[in-house]
Amino acid sequence: MIPLSWYLILAAGLFSIGLFGVLARRNAVAILLGVELMLNAVNINLVAFWRYGDVAQMAGQVFAIIVFAVAAAEVAVGLALVISVYRRRNTVVAEELDLLKW
Amino acid sequence: MTAEQIIFLIVGAVTLIAGLMVVTVRNLVHAALWLVAALFGVAIVYTLLNAGFIAVVQVVVYIGAIAILFIFAVMLTRRQAADTGASVNKNWWAGALMAAATFAGLAFLLQGWSGFSKTASAIPLGFDAVNQLGDALTSPAGYVLPFEVASVLLLAALVGAVYLAFNKK
């Protein structure tokens, strides 16, 4: 049997990689790719806790499904924003989008 | 070491390497394809956790819809996304430090937790996870309210995405 710790360490590693992507990448689409990795890491944790807890309690799987829905909504709106910004400013580099910067 | 553990180690290593490639490769189309590899690895992890339905949803929704949407967005913004300039900003080392600190902090917190090396109890005979999940999502005693709120959120996202990306000219 695989101990719970392996799943948690895998999820922590994936989350940290995604965090690096969000903090370091310049391209807005690449930042969203990092966010996807972080959401997947959270989902691994949710499903692992469902399996290693009481399997009759479906909260872990239900929350994983809700995270799927939220991720789909986030990507749809995020990429629409990126395309809209690209059309107006002709750039998708996050640091060049300084319209709101004082 | 059991076969299950060997499969987990291989899949986990592939997932982490694919994740690293997602955040480091210059070409964004390649990054999106590496994301597909990482998502497949996560789907296999779900299968190892006896969550077959979640694994199928992962393949259909994440790989079938979200990853393809990413590839479309990369191609629609290609002229600037083309490989000019650095792919990481000048504070990337601070981001790397932050990510390493997050991982170290999580690992430290987790190994101090008593349930850390717990092993799973066997699934009871005749337990149907998909049936239970459907019941939980639609029964008022379960999670019908979050389920409906999620559908409203998806509708709002649909309208918002169409409005934002619509070309007014």
**Contact: B69, A79; criterion CB under 8 Å:** yes
| pLDDT grade for B76, boundaries at 50, 70 and 90 | confident
The pLDDT tens digits of the residues spanning B27-49 come to 888 999 999 999 999 999 999 99
Q: Judge whether B157 and B163 are in contact, CB under 8 Å.
A: no
Supply the pLDDT for residue A2.
86
Distance from CA of A18 to the nearest CA of B (A): 7
Which residue of A65, A81, A93 is the best one to mutate when testing the B interface, meaning the one whose CB has the most B CBs within 10 A?
A65
Cβ of B76 within 8 Å of Cβ of A86? The answer is yes
Chain B nearest-CA distance from A95, in A, is 8
Q: What is the pLDDT of residue B85?
A: 66
Beta bridge partners of A93: A27
Handedness of CA A12, A15, A21, A24 (dihedral sign): negative
Q: Is B99 on the interface with A (CB under 8 A)?
A: yes
Cβ-Cβ contacts under 8 Å for A28 (sequence gap 6 or more): A82, A85, A92, A93, A94, A97
Rounded average pLDDT over B125-153: 89
Q: Say if residue A74 is exposed, middle or buried (CB neighbours under 10 Å; 0-12, 13-18, 19+).
A: middle
Find the CB nearest A68 among B61, B117, B161.
Answer: B61
Instruction: Give the chain B residue whose CA is nearest to the CA of A58.
Output: B133
User: Which ipTM score applies to this complex?
Assistant: 0.91
Structure tokens of A84? 């809209």
Contact A84 B164 (CB under 8 A): yes
State the pLDDT at residue B84. 63
The per-residue pLDDT string of chain A (102 residues; one tens digit each, 9 = 90 and over) reads 788 899 999 999 999 999 999 999 888 899 999 999 999 999 999 999 999 988 888 899 999 999 999 999 999 999 999 988 888 888 888 888 888 877
3-state secondary structure (DSSP) of residue A42: helix
Q: What is the pLDDT at residue B86?
A: 72
Tens of pLDDT, residues A5-17: 999 999 999 999 9
User: In angstroms, what separates the C-alpha of A52 from chain B's closest C-alpha?
Assistant: 5
